[in-house]
Structure 1
Amino acid sequence: MSLYRTELRRLGKRRFTRWATLLGLLVLAAVLAGIFVTNEKIGPEQRARAERKAEQQYQEQARWAEEERAACTQAKTSGQNAPQGRYPEDCAMIQPPDRESIEAKWYLPSTFDFRDRFEETIIPFTGILAMIGFVVGASFVGAEWSTGGMMNLLLWRPKRLTVLLTKLAALLTGAVGLTVVTAALWTVGFWIVGTMRGSTAKMTAGVWQSFGLTGLRGLLLIVVAATLGFAIASLGRHTAMALGGAIGVVAVGQFGVGVLMGMAGAKFIEAWLLPTYAMAWLQKKVILENYDSCNANYYGECKPDTLELTWQHSSILLGVGLVVILGAALINMRRRDIA
């Protein structure tokens, strides 16, 4: 019997895998439903309603300006002491805004433009599936160690690295398969949202290619997360090792690093935080700004210092972390006794 098929079947039959996957899919479905409910298609009725609201807002502003101008004139005529700075020297300066400055588009309801907004939905999609991949990967190998299943398996197939890498291959196959199928459903779901609650216009081959590349980067991030969970749990020979390490990095390490960098006066604190690099990987680049600095340009405008982090920076960090942790897990598997 093929070890790979056996591990793949074992992965699919584990209750933790099924429940974690189901929970993640329910969260994604809730996100999709929430966006569907909070958006609507814009037509002549919605535009007419927005025009009425804009006109109503202008009339209110005009009425307020007229009342304030009359109060200003009365205060200056009667010699009353109005609060300092409330009225200008010339009451005629109190005027309502131009009608054109109050735009009807401000009052249009939220609508889902598939071309403009679908790419941003890939971020929560990737985050949720990466979390599932991490915990399932950690549980998949951690449970084998804690229950003694790994020892029994090695009696049948004594090649340690082959066994561990086959388990990892089965895990990544499941992660990729789940991601591809879910991504297809995610895309179809938001296409329906755009059709019924927004717009799907101006979709070109270039736009689809951009979406595909972003999705591919998301898939790679999910694979990395699953591998890291698997490798950390294998190092500690327990699921809690990976989950505890993740909690330590996110809750303690990231928070502590942020506080430490802030106390040290670092210019770009976000550059020391892992989520920044995950965002740079998905969005291709992230521009950080330091508002404590001021660079005056030719026109006297003050602009903050900036730091651009690209997907290349993120790929180096993710690649090094993956090689170090997975390599340590393989070395540990090869050298330590099975007990």
Structure 2
Amino acid sequence: MSLARAETRRLFRRRFTSVILIGVLLILAATVVGSFLSTQKVGPAQVASAKAEAERNYQEAVKMAAEEQQRCLEANPTNAAACQPWTPSQSDFDYTWYMPETFDLRAEYPDMIALLAVVLAAAGFLIGASFVGSEWNSGGMMNLLLWRPRRLQVLGTKLAVLLGWFTGLTLLLGALWTGAFTLIAQLRGTTEKMTPGVWQSFGLTGLRGIALVVVAAALGFALASLGRHTGMAMGALVGLGALQIGVYIMAQLGGAKYPEAWLGPAWIYGWIFKELELPNYNSCNYSSDGNCEPETFTLTWQTAGIGMAIITVLVVGASMWAMRRRDIT
């Protein structure tokens, strides 16, 4: 039996892998069902109802404003100038605010792609860490190296099997995810303005989502291999979160222009959605009408991608170096 086939069987026969994947499927299924049940198709009847609701609220506001002005005049009979209540305007009651929730595929599906990518990335990190961490902790890695003494080949094959299967799983679930939300949009929403360019944009966003899943799985695997225990990856994740919070607070206290740029979620957002604009309100410039126009820094997907690639190469490289140089026993 080839090493890759053996590692595939080992990966999917682990109870932890099954539990995590079942949990992922339940989360995704609940999201699809919830989106279907919480939205509805909008037609002329819904538009007419929303316009009637907007008009009714407008008339009530006009009545309340008149009553408030009357009470003010009674309280101040000699100072009518003090009684100038807010006068409602028809434009203040846009009927679209009263429309029922509907699913707009073009506007809302990018968020669904991000959700899928984040859920699978979390699963990839956990399964990757457990996959190799349990081997070290149980002594299985040492037994495996007795009949397959090539250390880097063994660890590299394990990593390749993990990343290959997670790439395939992400592609499969991504196709099902797209089909499900396209159906929801057709039955409970709208597919208007869905041009080939929009589908291409969805595809590129999906590719960045796959890359995020692969990076997360590789980092979980590499960290657990470095520490020779699943807990190493979990501890590193918790420690990184605490470190980021501390750095963010220190950056704020130190007067850094864009403290949010030190937070990992900002980089993930910039990677998935192509860019993230971070404002610096401390150096706010005021325009002639008094509105704040702060300086901004745009975190692009290219910058986020380079940062993710550097971290992944360093961590995975360190795990390979440790595999080759450190004592196995």
The two structures have a TM-score, normalised by structure 2, of 0.96
**Residue equivalent to 1:259:** 249
**Residue equivalent to 1:326:** 316
The answer for unaligned runs of 5 or more in structure 2 is none
**Residue equivalent to 2:189:** 198
Shift in Å, 1:201 = 2.1
Alignment deviations for residues 271-313 of structure 1 (CA, whole Å, 9 cap, x no partner)? 1111111110001100001222221346554311111110111
1:299–1:133 CA distance, 2 compared to 1 (3 A): same
Shift in Å, 1:127 = 0.8
Q: 2:286 & 2:93 partners in 1: Cα distance?
A: 32
Given that 1:62 and 1:95 are in contact with CA atoms closer than 8 Å, whether structure 2 keeps it comes out as no
**Residue equivalent to 1:273:** 263
Q: 2:37 & 2:283 partners in 1: Cα distance?
A: 43
Q: 2:111 & 2:86 partners in 1: Cα distance?
A: 41
Q: 2:80 & 2:39 partners in 1: Cα distance?
A: 43
1:121 to 106, 112, 120: 112
Q: Tell me whether 1:41 sits opposite 2:41 in the alignment.
A: yes
**Residue equivalent to 2:13:** 13
Amino acid in the other structure paired with 1:20: I
Given that 2:73 and 2:80 are in contact with CA atoms closer than 8 Å, whether structure 1 keeps it comes out as no
2:161 to 170, 191, 198: 170
Shift in Å, 1:95 = 6.0
Q: Tell me whether 1:152 sits opposite 2:143 in the alignment.
A: yes
Q: Which secondary structure state, in structure 2, belongs to the residue aligned with residue 89 of structure 1?
A: helix
Amino acid in the other structure paired with 1:48: A
Tell me which moved more, 25-34 or 233-242: 25-34
Given that 2:224 and 2:233 are in contact with CA atoms closer than 8 Å, whether structure 1 keeps it comes out as yes
Q: Tell me whether 1:50 sits opposite 2:58 in the alignment.
A: no
Q: 2:67 & 2:287 partners in 1: Cα distance?
A: 42
Q: Give the alignment's Cα RMSD to 1 decimal.
A: 1.6
Equivalent runs, 1:296-307 vs 2, <5 Å = 296-297=286-287, 301-307=291-297
Q: Which secondary structure state, in structure 2, belongs to the residue aligned with residue 265 of structure 1?
A: coil
Q: Which secondary structure state, in structure 2, belongs to the residue aligned with residue 109 of structure 1?
A: coil
Q: 1:138 & 1:198 partners in 2: Cα distance?
A: 40
Q: 2:253 & 2:86 partners in 1: Cα distance?
A: 48
Q: 2:135 & 2:230 partners in 1: Cα distance?
A: 9
Amino acid in the other structure paired with 2:180: G
Shift in Å, 1:88 = 7.1
Q: 1:103 & 1:55 partners in 2: Cα distance?
A: 9
- Aligned length, in residue pairs: 329
Shift in Å, 1:96 = 3.2
**Residue equivalent to 1:82:** none
Shift in Å, 1:186 = 0.8
The two structures have a TM-score, normalised by structure 1, of 0.93
Q: 1:39 & 1:278 partners in 2: Cα distance?
A: 28
Given that 1:66 and 1:95 are in contact with CA atoms closer than 8 Å, whether structure 2 keeps it comes out as no
Q: 1:101 & 1:142 partners in 2: Cα distance?
A: 59
Q: 1:239 & 1:323 partners in 2: Cα distance?
A: 20
Q: 2:178 & 2:72 partners in 1: Cα distance?
A: 58
Alignment deviations for residues 54-113 of structure 1 (CA, whole Å, 9 cap, x no partner)? 111111111012112222332332x5xxxxxxx97264x446323244221110011101
1:285–1:163 CA distance, 2 compared to 1 (3 A): same
Given that 1:47 and 1:108 are in contact with CA atoms closer than 8 Å, whether structure 2 keeps it comes out as yes
Q: Tell me whether 1:69 sits opposite 2:59 in the alignment.
A: no
Q: Which secondary structure state, in structure 1, belongs to the residue aligned with residue 55 of structure 2?
A: helix
Q: Tell me whether 1:89 sits opposite 2:81 in the alignment.
A: yes
Q: Which secondary structure state, in structure 2, belongs to the residue aligned with residue 290 of structure 1?
A: strand
Shift in Å, 1:153 = 0.8
